[in-house]
A and B are shown apart, each in its own frame.
Chain A
């Protein structure tokens, strides 16, 4: 079962438990520990009944929360989370008190992820459910091929700006982009890059601001968001300000008001079968 990956400094991190029952907390010292041992320790802590796991001294370790299936478990990451944070995760909550690298919420099943900073490329690829809230900017290829099924409906809220291929091949769920800078003000950077929603055949994208049609894939319908649209995403924005307004030193209610009073663009697919007429069957 345990595979030794050579060439890395590998020891078990130290772990300290405190509290009982729903308050049971595990504090794990992860400085210079290889990801495999960190993740083994997280699993062990969940087995031991910890509901709150604090990972201290994280510095780019990969796969934190990968494949973890657990309810009522919160993993606090102190430091920059490495690639594929919360990949395949089912049910847990991960809060990162810094930036995160690429692949946050990759093929994630359920649960919640909060990033107090920026996140990299390929966020939420093939994501099936749960929610990822990112305070600041995200990179390229965010929300590619997110899909929904019945109660599973994925959500990504990115507070800053995004690069190209936002929501490419999107098949379900919601993508929300707020265009704030690191002070919680309207960013002076371009809100989003090109190829937005190329191949989109499900789900919905909300952008705070306006875009040009050339930025979107041809499968995308561009609309000005109406009141009922904003009403439908209000709870997500409330969650965003609840999580991050204090980081900016802003008042949550004021920030929410500012977000809701802005002009929003809604993107939705023109067809659930964009390639239905592409072929001549032999």
Chain B
């Protein structure tokens, strides 16, 4: 059927500067370019990932937004019309990746941090010790997990991302004294040397889960939900299940890896407790966390999770990333992370069980500012997925589900995955986390405290700008000026 949609981008090559070297042809994972004496682009395939632009020696490629005019209609935006054409032609569920991209208000952007002036001196972190070390787990039973800065890498499975991405994160986590997370895709043998800095995940498909896997991780995480797609399962398409992925997931090559929406052995909080303790029994009582997506009733759910015996609750907000999710779910289901952190922290405090579990917050932590604000709202630590991928070269073209990532991150094609050198990748991640940690120390210094512990749940050090009264009340944050 004729595709009624038009290209979103225009690939503009200045042929007067072009070396005719053909590097763009090789660099593009989407097959935009053909070479006939000079590179000839097919605009319709371009996702604006800028791989060709970055590696063009002549700097002669510019990706432009298509200037094609649509008749103005604020209600029927061009994207809406295009989606209808696509679905009318295919009958398919629109599939996309990375986090929600619609222009919804970010609460983090409406929160500002406090600082000391005159009456209470600020601290210079360059001259004085500033403690970022964080312990996760049940404080009543003693600390279970130690991380040197309140940041971990978010679960992204081998299969959704390449092995070199996993290696980069594992090496970086090991050097930083933090944790990476396997996601639901098993643990490749190449990561065994870093196992003390790895959280192994158990999700509904139980891919790659065997007794050895459970015993290798520093902690085990039960994945119940994901911020990008609360309430639905995952389908890793057969194209991404190559030989190595099939070994790690322990499923045949080329079949779909289907994760059911629920765990079929968890239909209640009692069942969740049963799974938590079966994992503890099987692993010699390692810490077990539970990852849930932020949804309406998240306070009560988190309370149940903590009472079920989880050592941490991982809250994934509605802007959280994904390797593939139906666009309708990604863009419309779930609640903002900021609200969820505040509600869960308060609920656990009200019930007197806050000390029984830590809170890890994730779902589009974009900067050290978001990190500091999340901790002030009540999180113990944050996790970064999208930010880590961006550090490795991701340009947020939202094409992970195609398996053609030009940056070699969310693909299994060997000619693409080799583009990421794990050593260099690890260094980029170490640099990013160190930079954020320094910034976090600066924030703490300005606040006049010398340990991240002093900021945790300290909502008094936050103020809201342009947030309505009800939202302020839920967040437990006063408006600026009060």
Q: Do A and B bind each other?
A: yes
Q: Which of A72-118 contact B (CB under 8 A)?
A: 83-84, 87-90, 102-103, 106-107, 109
Q: Is B90 an interface residue (CB 8 A)?
A: yes
- In the complex, whether A266 has a CB less than 8 A from a CB of chain B is no
Is A66 an interface residue when CB atoms closer than 8 A count as contact?
yes
Interface membership of A141, Cβ < 8 A: yes
Question: Of the candidates B252, B274, B281, B398, which one forms a contact with A67 in the assembled complex, judged by CB atoms under 8 Å apart?
Answer: B281
Q: In the complex, which residues of chain A have a beta carbon less than 8 angstroms from the beta carbon of B278?
A: 62-63, 66-67, 84, 87-88, 103, 106
Number of interface residues of A (CB under 8 A): 52
Interface of A, helix, strand, loop or mixed by DSSP: loop
Contact partner, A125, options B206, B212, B214, B246, Cβ 8 Å: B206
Of the residues B91, B95, B264, B327, contact of A144 by C-beta under 8 Å: B264
Query: Cβ of B112 < 8 Å from any Cβ of A?
Result: no
Asked if residues B255 and A201 are in contact (CB atoms below 8 Å), the reply is: yes
Q: Which of A1, A90, A273 has the most CB of B within 10 A?
A: A273
Is there a chain A Cβ closer than 8 Å to B352's Cβ? no
How many interface residues does chain B have, given as a range?
35 or more
Report if A51 contacts B (CB, 8 A): no
- CB proximity to A under 8 Å, residues B165-224: 202, 204-206, 209-212, 214
Interface-centre pick from A35, A89, A107, A172 (highest chain B CB count, 10 A): A107
On whether the beta carbons of A90 and B210 are closer than 8 Å, the reply is yes
Q: A63 near B255 (CB under 8 angstroms)?
A: no
**Which of B211, B214, B238 has the largest number of chain A CB atoms within 10 A?**
B211
Please classify the interface of chain B as helix (H, G, I), strand (E, B), loop, or mixed, using the class held by over half of its residues.
Answer: mixed
Q: In the complex, which residue of chain B has the Cβ closest to the Cβ of A63?
A: B281
Check A106 against B265 for contact (C-beta < 8 Å). Answer: yes
> A276 to B141, Cβ gap below 8 A?
no
The answer to whether A281 touches B210 (Cβ under 8 A) is: no
* Interface segment, one of A20-28, A145-153, A182-190: A145-153
- Asked if residues B281 and A66 are in contact (CB atoms below 8 Å), the reply is yes
Check A36 for interface membership: any CB of B closer than 8 A: yes
Least CB distance from A80 to B in Å reads: 16
A169 interfacial contact with B, CB 8 Å? yes
For the complex formed, measure the closest distance between the CB of B20 and the CB atoms of chain A, giving whole angstroms.
32
Please encode chain B, from 281 to 292, with 1 for each CB lying within 8 Å of some chain A CB and 0 for all others. Answer: 111110000000
Given A66-B278, A126-B206, A145-B206, verify A273-B238 contact (CB < 8 Å). yes
Please tell me if the beta carbons of A109 and B211 are within 8 angstroms of each other in the complex. Answer: yes
Partner of B398 from the list A107, A109, A201, A282 (CB cut-off 8 Å) is: A282
**Shortest CB distance A151–B (Å):** 11
Give the contacts of B263-281 with A (CB-CB under 8 A).
264-265, 274, 277-278, 280-281
**Which residues of A in the span 152-194 have a Cβ within 8 Å of any Cβ on B?**
152, 165, 168-169, 171-172
Contact string, B86-103, partner A, CB cutoff 8 A, digits 1/0?
110111111110000000
B157 CB to nearest chain A CB (Å): 16
- Is B41 close to A, CB under 8 A? no
Query: For the complex, is A135 an interface residue (Cβ under 8 Å from B)?
Result: no
The residues of A that contact B235 with a CB separation of less than 8 Å are 275, 278
A126 touches B209 (CB 8 A): yes
Q: List 30 A-B contacts (CB under 8 A).
A: A63-B277, A67-B214, A67-B281, A67-B283, A88-B209, A102-B265, A103-B274, A103-B278, A106-B278, A107-B206, A125-B265, A126-B205, A128-B206, A149-B246, A149-B250, A149-B252, A152-B250, A171-B258, A199-B258, A201-B258, A273-B256, A275-B258, A276-B238, A279-B92, A279-B94, A279-B95, A280-B92, A280-B94, A280-B95, A282-B327
The interface of chain A, by Cβ under 8 A from chain B, is: 1-3, 35-36, 39, 62-63, 66-67, 69, 83-84, 87-90, 102-103, 106-107, 109, 122, 125-126, 128, 141, 144-145, 147-149, 152, 165, 168-169, 171-172, 199, 201-202, 272-282
